[in-house]
Structure 1
Amino acid sequence: MKFKVYALVGMPGSGKTEATLLLKDLNIPVITMGDRIREEMKKRNIEINSENMRKFMLNLREEEGMDAVARKCLPYIYNISSDIVIIDGIRNQEEIDFFKINLNNFKVIAILAKPEIRYQRLMDRKREDDSFDIKKLKERDYKELSVGIGKVIENADYNIINESTKEHLKNEFKKILFNDG
Protein backbone atom coordinates (compact mmCIF):
# COMPACT_ATOMS: atom_id res chain seq x y z
CA MET A 1 0.00 0.00 0.00
CA LYS A 2 1.45 3.35 -1.03
CA PHE A 3 -1.05 5.73 0.54
CA LYS A 4 -0.80 7.40 3.94
CA VAL A 5 -3.50 6.94 6.56
CA TYR A 6 -3.99 9.37 9.43
CA ALA A 7 -6.29 8.92 12.41
CA LEU A 8 -7.84 12.04 13.93
CA VAL A 9 -8.26 11.93 17.69
CA GLY A 10 -9.37 14.46 20.25
CA MET A 11 -11.79 15.17 23.02
CA PRO A 12 -15.36 16.30 22.26
CA GLY A 13 -15.33 19.87 20.98
CA SER A 14 -11.64 19.83 20.04
CA GLY A 15 -12.50 20.34 16.37
CA LYS A 16 -12.48 16.88 14.80
CA THR A 17 -15.70 17.49 12.88
CA GLU A 18 -14.48 20.86 11.64
CA ALA A 19 -11.19 19.23 10.63
CA THR A 20 -12.96 16.53 8.61
CA LEU A 21 -14.94 19.21 6.74
CA LEU A 22 -11.73 21.11 5.95
CA LEU A 23 -10.04 17.89 4.81
CA LYS A 24 -12.98 17.00 2.57
CA ASP A 25 -12.60 20.49 1.02
CA LEU A 26 -9.04 19.43 0.17
CA ASN A 27 -10.50 16.30 -1.52
CA ILE A 28 -9.09 14.02 1.15
CA PRO A 29 -11.43 11.09 1.89
CA VAL A 30 -12.56 10.60 5.48
CA ILE A 31 -13.61 7.23 6.90
CA THR A 32 -15.88 7.82 9.90
CA MET A 33 -15.88 4.97 12.39
CA GLY A 34 -19.31 6.01 13.66
CA ASP A 35 -20.70 5.26 10.18
CA ARG A 36 -19.61 1.62 10.59
CA ILE A 37 -21.38 1.50 13.96
CA ARG A 38 -24.56 2.94 12.43
CA GLU A 39 -24.38 0.34 9.61
CA GLU A 40 -24.13 -2.48 12.15
CA MET A 41 -27.04 -1.05 14.13
CA LYS A 42 -29.19 -0.89 10.97
CA LYS A 43 -28.36 -4.53 10.19
CA ARG A 44 -29.59 -5.47 13.66
CA ASN A 45 -32.66 -3.17 13.50
CA ILE A 46 -31.53 -1.04 16.45
CA GLU A 47 -32.82 2.53 16.61
CA ILE A 48 -30.00 5.00 15.98
CA ASN A 49 -29.67 7.65 18.68
CA SER A 50 -26.74 8.80 20.81
CA GLU A 51 -27.53 6.59 23.83
CA ASN A 52 -28.11 3.46 21.71
CA MET A 53 -24.94 4.17 19.73
CA ARG A 54 -22.86 4.49 22.90
CA LYS A 55 -24.28 1.25 24.34
CA PHE A 56 -23.97 -0.58 21.02
CA MET A 57 -20.35 0.53 20.58
CA LEU A 58 -19.47 -0.70 24.07
CA ASN A 59 -21.30 -4.02 23.53
CA LEU A 60 -19.72 -4.53 20.10
CA ARG A 61 -16.25 -3.97 21.53
CA GLU A 62 -17.04 -6.30 24.42
CA GLU A 63 -18.33 -9.05 22.08
CA GLU A 64 -15.85 -8.71 19.22
CA GLY A 65 -12.84 -7.05 20.83
CA MET A 66 -11.72 -3.49 21.41
CA ASP A 67 -10.63 -3.21 17.76
CA ALA A 68 -14.01 -4.38 16.36
CA VAL A 69 -14.91 -1.05 14.76
CA ALA A 70 -11.42 -0.66 13.29
CA ARG A 71 -11.72 -4.10 11.66
CA LYS A 72 -15.00 -3.04 10.06
CA CYS A 73 -13.30 0.07 8.60
CA LEU A 74 -10.35 -1.69 6.95
CA PRO A 75 -12.18 -2.81 3.74
CA TYR A 76 -13.39 0.77 3.21
CA ILE A 77 -9.84 2.09 3.58
CA TYR A 78 -8.46 -0.42 1.08
CA ASN A 79 -11.14 0.54 -1.47
CA ILE A 80 -10.20 4.23 -1.54
CA SER A 81 -8.02 5.43 -4.38
CA SER A 82 -6.27 8.39 -2.78
CA ASP A 83 -2.73 9.16 -1.60
CA ILE A 84 -4.06 10.24 1.79
CA VAL A 85 -6.93 8.80 3.85
CA ILE A 86 -8.28 10.11 7.16
CA ILE A 87 -9.93 7.96 9.85
CA ASP A 88 -12.21 9.79 12.26
CA GLY A 89 -13.56 8.27 15.46
CA ILE A 90 -10.79 6.19 17.02
CA ARG A 91 -11.41 5.72 20.73
CA ASN A 92 -8.74 3.36 22.10
CA GLN A 93 -5.19 2.05 21.78
CA GLU A 94 -6.32 -1.34 20.47
CA GLU A 95 -7.77 0.35 17.38
CA ILE A 96 -4.48 2.20 16.87
CA ASP A 97 -2.54 -1.05 17.25
CA PHE A 98 -4.82 -2.79 14.73
CA PHE A 99 -4.28 -0.07 12.13
CA LYS A 100 -0.51 0.00 12.74
CA ILE A 101 -0.36 -3.75 12.09
CA ASN A 102 -2.59 -3.64 8.99
CA LEU A 103 -1.55 -0.36 7.36
CA ASN A 104 2.02 0.37 6.29
CA ASN A 105 1.93 4.14 6.65
CA PHE A 106 -0.34 4.97 9.59
CA LYS A 107 -0.01 7.97 11.90
CA VAL A 108 -2.15 9.64 14.55
CA ILE A 109 -2.98 13.36 14.67
CA ALA A 110 -4.36 14.69 17.97
CA ILE A 111 -6.48 17.83 17.84
CA LEU A 112 -6.18 19.66 21.14
CA ALA A 113 -8.04 22.54 22.77
CA LYS A 114 -8.45 23.75 26.35
CA PRO A 115 -11.55 22.41 28.14
CA GLU A 116 -13.22 25.83 28.39
CA ILE A 117 -12.86 26.32 24.61
CA ARG A 118 -14.17 22.81 23.90
CA TYR A 119 -17.14 23.24 26.22
CA GLN A 120 -18.06 26.55 24.60
CA ARG A 121 -17.89 24.95 21.15
CA LEU A 122 -20.09 22.08 22.29
CA MET A 123 -22.68 24.50 23.65
CA ASP A 124 -22.51 26.65 20.50
CA ARG A 125 -22.92 23.85 17.96
CA LYS A 126 -26.21 22.59 19.48
CA ARG A 127 -25.90 19.03 18.20
CA GLU A 128 -28.56 16.66 19.55
CA ASP A 129 -26.03 14.59 21.53
CA ASP A 130 -24.41 17.68 23.11
CA SER A 131 -25.30 18.97 26.54
CA PHE A 132 -25.51 22.59 27.63
CA ASP A 133 -24.55 21.74 31.21
CA ILE A 134 -20.85 21.99 32.20
CA LYS A 135 -21.26 19.10 34.66
CA LYS A 136 -22.63 16.87 31.88
CA LEU A 137 -19.84 17.98 29.53
CA LYS A 138 -17.28 16.97 32.16
CA GLU A 139 -19.08 13.62 32.56
CA ARG A 140 -18.86 13.14 28.80
CA ASP A 141 -15.13 13.82 28.95
CA TYR A 142 -14.83 11.21 31.69
CA LYS A 143 -16.72 8.65 29.56
CA GLU A 144 -14.43 9.35 26.59
CA LEU A 145 -11.34 9.00 28.78
CA SER A 146 -12.68 5.77 30.31
CA VAL A 147 -12.69 4.03 26.90
CA GLY A 148 -9.02 4.91 26.36
CA ILE A 149 -8.95 8.09 24.27
CA GLY A 150 -6.52 9.76 26.70
CA LYS A 151 -3.75 7.26 25.96
CA VAL A 152 -4.36 7.59 22.22
CA ILE A 153 -4.10 11.39 22.41
CA GLU A 154 -0.98 11.18 24.59
CA ASN A 155 0.79 8.87 22.11
CA ALA A 156 -0.19 10.75 18.93
CA ASP A 157 2.46 11.26 16.25
CA TYR A 158 1.35 14.88 15.71
CA ASN A 159 -0.48 17.46 17.82
CA ILE A 160 -2.48 20.37 16.48
CA ILE A 161 -3.56 23.07 18.93
CA ASN A 162 -6.98 24.16 17.67
CA GLU A 163 -7.76 27.32 19.58
CA SER A 164 -7.59 29.78 16.69
CA THR A 165 -9.20 30.10 13.25
CA LYS A 166 -10.37 27.53 10.72
CA GLU A 167 -7.66 28.82 8.38
CA HIS A 168 -5.02 28.10 11.04
CA LEU A 169 -6.41 24.58 11.49
CA LYS A 170 -6.36 23.99 7.73
CA ASN A 171 -2.76 25.22 7.47
CA GLU A 172 -1.64 22.97 10.32
CA PHE A 173 -3.14 19.97 8.53
CA LYS A 174 -1.50 20.94 5.24
CA LYS A 175 1.90 21.09 6.98
CA ILE A 176 1.46 17.56 8.29
CA LEU A 177 -0.30 15.86 5.39
CA PHE A 178 1.67 17.30 2.51
CA ASN A 179 5.12 17.41 4.14
CA ASP A 180 5.10 14.05 5.91
CA GLY A 181 7.71 11.92 4.13
Structure 2
Amino acid sequence: MQVMGISGLPGSGKSLVSKIAIERGAKIVSMGDIIREESKKRGESTKETAQNLRAEFGQYIVSELTIKKIKKLQEEGFESKIIVEGIRSPHEVNMFKKNFENFIILSIFANPTLRFERLKNRMREDDSTDYVEFKARDQMELDFGIGDVISLSDKIIINETDLESYTNSINKFLDEIEL
Protein backbone atom coordinates (compact mmCIF):
# COMPACT_ATOMS: atom_id res chain seq x y z
CA MET A 1 0.00 0.00 0.00
CA GLN A 2 1.36 3.40 -0.96
CA VAL A 3 0.70 6.53 1.07
CA MET A 4 1.11 9.96 -0.50
CA GLY A 5 0.32 13.47 0.62
CA ILE A 6 -1.42 16.47 -0.88
CA SER A 7 -0.55 19.99 0.17
CA GLY A 8 -1.65 23.45 -0.84
CA LEU A 9 -3.07 26.59 0.66
CA PRO A 10 -6.84 26.78 1.31
CA GLY A 11 -8.85 26.97 -1.90
CA SER A 12 -6.02 25.70 -4.11
CA GLY A 13 -7.94 22.63 -5.28
CA LYS A 14 -6.82 19.74 -3.08
CA SER A 15 -10.34 18.36 -2.72
CA LEU A 16 -10.73 17.73 -6.48
CA VAL A 17 -7.55 15.64 -6.42
CA SER A 18 -9.08 13.68 -3.56
CA LYS A 19 -12.41 13.25 -5.35
CA ILE A 20 -10.76 11.89 -8.50
CA ALA A 21 -8.45 9.66 -6.45
CA ILE A 22 -11.46 8.20 -4.61
CA GLU A 23 -13.06 7.40 -7.96
CA ARG A 24 -9.86 5.51 -8.80
CA GLY A 25 -10.00 3.48 -5.58
CA ALA A 26 -7.87 5.50 -3.16
CA LYS A 27 -8.79 6.27 0.41
CA ILE A 28 -8.50 9.86 1.63
CA VAL A 29 -7.40 10.72 5.14
CA SER A 30 -7.86 14.45 5.67
CA MET A 31 -5.71 16.15 8.27
CA GLY A 32 -8.20 19.02 8.24
CA ASP A 33 -11.00 16.58 9.10
CA ILE A 34 -8.94 15.32 12.02
CA ILE A 35 -8.55 18.90 13.28
CA ARG A 36 -12.28 19.58 12.72
CA GLU A 37 -13.15 16.43 14.74
CA GLU A 38 -10.85 17.56 17.56
CA SER A 39 -12.27 21.11 17.50
CA LYS A 40 -15.79 19.73 18.03
CA LYS A 41 -14.56 17.67 21.00
CA ARG A 42 -12.84 20.72 22.47
CA GLY A 43 -15.54 23.27 21.65
CA GLU A 44 -12.99 25.46 19.87
CA SER A 45 -12.70 26.90 16.39
CA THR A 46 -10.61 24.90 13.95
CA LYS A 47 -7.99 27.66 13.98
CA GLU A 48 -7.71 27.51 17.78
CA THR A 49 -7.57 23.72 17.74
CA ALA A 50 -4.86 23.60 15.05
CA GLN A 51 -2.70 25.97 17.08
CA ASN A 52 -3.55 24.52 20.51
CA LEU A 53 -2.91 20.90 19.54
CA ARG A 54 0.56 21.81 18.31
CA ALA A 55 1.25 23.97 21.38
CA GLU A 56 0.09 21.21 23.76
CA PHE A 57 1.52 18.12 22.04
CA GLY A 58 4.18 19.42 19.64
CA GLN A 59 4.56 19.90 15.89
CA TYR A 60 3.99 16.22 15.16
CA ILE A 61 0.56 15.76 16.78
CA VAL A 62 -1.67 16.07 13.71
CA SER A 63 0.60 13.77 11.72
CA GLU A 64 0.67 11.31 14.64
CA LEU A 65 -3.15 11.21 14.74
CA THR A 66 -3.23 10.80 10.96
CA ILE A 67 -0.61 8.02 10.98
CA LYS A 68 -2.59 6.23 13.68
CA LYS A 69 -5.69 6.40 11.48
CA ILE A 70 -3.79 5.09 8.43
CA LYS A 71 -2.25 2.21 10.38
CA LYS A 72 -5.72 1.26 11.57
CA LEU A 73 -6.84 1.11 7.91
CA GLN A 74 -3.86 -1.13 7.17
CA GLU A 75 -4.78 -3.41 10.07
CA GLU A 76 -8.32 -3.60 8.70
CA GLY A 77 -6.89 -4.86 5.40
CA PHE A 78 -7.12 -1.74 3.20
CA GLU A 79 -4.53 -2.26 0.45
CA SER A 80 -5.05 0.50 -2.11
CA LYS A 81 -3.37 3.91 -2.10
CA ILE A 82 -4.03 6.26 0.78
CA ILE A 83 -3.85 9.96 0.22
CA VAL A 84 -3.23 12.30 3.12
CA GLU A 85 -4.93 15.58 2.34
CA GLY A 86 -3.78 18.84 3.88
CA ILE A 87 -0.15 18.41 4.89
CA ARG A 88 1.03 21.74 6.23
CA SER A 89 4.47 21.40 7.79
CA PRO A 90 7.87 19.86 7.11
CA HIS A 91 7.50 18.12 10.49
CA GLU A 92 4.46 16.29 9.14
CA VAL A 93 6.27 15.30 5.95
CA ASN A 94 9.16 13.90 8.00
CA MET A 95 6.77 11.82 10.11
CA PHE A 96 5.06 10.37 7.04
CA LYS A 97 8.40 9.59 5.39
CA LYS A 98 9.54 7.78 8.53
CA ASN A 99 6.36 5.71 8.66
CA PHE A 100 5.60 4.99 4.99
CA GLU A 101 8.08 3.84 2.38
CA ASN A 102 8.17 5.85 -0.88
CA PHE A 103 5.99 8.63 0.56
CA ILE A 104 5.58 11.48 -1.95
CA ILE A 105 4.00 14.93 -1.83
CA LEU A 106 1.80 16.51 -4.49
CA SER A 107 1.19 20.23 -4.00
CA ILE A 108 -1.51 22.29 -5.63
CA PHE A 109 -0.89 25.98 -6.27
CA ALA A 110 -3.30 28.79 -7.10
CA ASN A 111 -2.86 32.52 -6.61
CA PRO A 112 -4.46 34.23 -3.57
CA THR A 113 -7.14 36.15 -5.49
CA LEU A 114 -8.44 33.01 -7.17
CA ARG A 115 -8.31 31.00 -3.95
CA PHE A 116 -10.22 33.70 -2.05
CA GLU A 117 -13.00 33.64 -4.65
CA ARG A 118 -13.20 29.85 -4.39
CA LEU A 119 -13.42 29.98 -0.60
CA LYS A 120 -16.18 32.59 -0.71
CA ASN A 121 -18.17 30.24 -2.92
CA ARG A 122 -17.33 27.09 -0.92
CA MET A 123 -18.19 28.56 2.49
CA ARG A 124 -16.99 25.70 4.67
CA GLU A 125 -16.99 26.42 8.42
CA ASP A 126 -13.39 27.66 8.41
CA ASP A 127 -13.73 29.75 5.21
CA SER A 128 -14.18 33.51 5.29
CA THR A 129 -15.69 36.13 3.00
CA ASP A 130 -13.41 38.74 4.59
CA TYR A 131 -10.13 39.21 2.71
CA VAL A 132 -8.23 40.26 5.84
CA GLU A 133 -9.29 37.03 7.60
CA PHE A 134 -8.37 35.06 4.47
CA LYS A 135 -4.86 36.58 4.46
CA ALA A 136 -4.52 35.88 8.20
CA ARG A 137 -5.44 32.23 7.58
CA ASP A 138 -2.85 32.05 4.80
CA GLN A 139 -0.25 33.51 7.17
CA MET A 140 -1.14 30.93 9.82
CA GLU A 141 -0.64 28.16 7.23
CA LEU A 142 2.68 29.70 6.19
CA ASP A 143 3.71 29.89 9.85
CA PHE A 144 3.07 26.13 10.12
CA GLY A 145 5.59 25.69 7.28
CA ILE A 146 3.34 24.95 4.30
CA GLY A 147 5.55 27.07 2.02
CA ASP A 148 8.47 24.71 2.70
CA VAL A 149 6.26 21.69 2.03
CA ILE A 150 5.11 23.13 -1.30
CA SER A 151 8.62 24.14 -2.35
CA LEU A 152 10.00 20.67 -1.61
CA SER A 153 7.12 18.71 -3.19
CA ASP A 154 7.74 15.82 -5.56
CA LYS A 155 5.16 17.31 -7.96
CA ILE A 156 3.34 20.66 -8.19
CA ILE A 157 0.18 21.22 -10.21
CA ILE A 158 -0.83 24.81 -10.99
CA ASN A 159 -4.60 25.24 -10.73
CA GLU A 160 -5.28 28.60 -12.34
CA THR A 161 -7.00 27.69 -15.59
CA ASP A 162 -10.28 26.00 -16.40
CA LEU A 163 -11.66 22.97 -14.60
CA GLU A 164 -11.12 20.64 -17.56
CA SER A 165 -7.40 21.49 -17.81
CA TYR A 166 -6.96 21.07 -14.08
CA THR A 167 -8.81 17.74 -14.13
CA ASN A 168 -6.59 16.55 -16.98
CA SER A 169 -3.46 17.51 -15.01
CA ILE A 170 -4.72 15.55 -11.99
CA ASN A 171 -5.53 12.48 -14.09
CA LYS A 172 -2.11 12.62 -15.77
CA PHE A 173 -0.39 12.70 -12.38
CA LEU A 174 -2.52 9.87 -10.99
CA ASP A 175 -1.71 7.81 -14.10
CA GLU A 176 2.00 8.46 -13.47
CA ILE A 177 1.74 7.07 -9.94
CA GLU A 178 -0.42 4.19 -11.17
CA LEU A 179 -3.59 5.05 -9.32
TM bucket (normalised to shorter chain) is 0.7 to 0.9
- Structure 2 letter corresponding to 1:53: T
- Report if the CA contact (8 A) 1:8-1:109 is conserved: yes
- Structure 2 letter corresponding to 1:47: G
TM score, norm. by length of structure 2: 0.86
What is residue 102 of structure 2 aligned with on the other side?
Answer: 105
Among 32, 37, 43, the alignment partner of 1:47 is: 43
- Report if the CA contact (8 A) 2:30-2:86 is conserved: yes
Among 116, 119, 123, the alignment partner of 1:122 is: 119
Map 1:52-131 → 2, pairs under 5 A = 52-78=45-71, 79-80=73-74, 81-131=78-128
Greater shift in the superposed pair: 19-28 or 7-16:
19-28
What is residue 157 of structure 1 aligned with on the other side?
Answer: 154
What is residue 130 of structure 2 aligned with on the other side?
Answer: 133
What is residue 166 of structure 2 aligned with on the other side?
Answer: 169
Which secondary structure does the structure 1 equivalent of 2:119 belong to? helix
- Structure 1 letter corresponding to 2:99: N
- Report if the CA contact (8 A) 1:33-1:89 is conserved: yes
Distance 1:60 1:95 in 2: 14
Number of corresponding residues: 174
- Structure 1 letter corresponding to 2:65: K
TM score, norm. by length of structure 1: 0.85
- Structure 1 letter corresponding to 2:64: R
> How many angstroms does 1:12 deviate by?
1.2
Greater shift in the superposed pair: 52-61 or 8-17:
52-61
> How many angstroms does 1:67 deviate by?
1.1
Which secondary structure does the structure 1 equivalent of 2:42 belong to? coil
| Aligned-residue CA RMSD (Å) | 2.0
The 3 A distance-change label for structure 1 pair 127 and 37 is closer
> How many angstroms does 1:115 deviate by?
1.6
Distance 1:19 1:177 in 2: 9
> How many angstroms does 1:41 deviate by?
4.5
> How many angstroms does 1:14 deviate by?
0.5
Distance 1:169 1:77 in 2: 28
The 3 A distance-change label for structure 1 pair 133 and 149 is same
Distance 1:36 1:132 in 2: 24
Which secondary structure does the structure 2 equivalent of 1:172 belong to? helix
Identity %: 37
Distance 1:140 1:39 in 2: 19
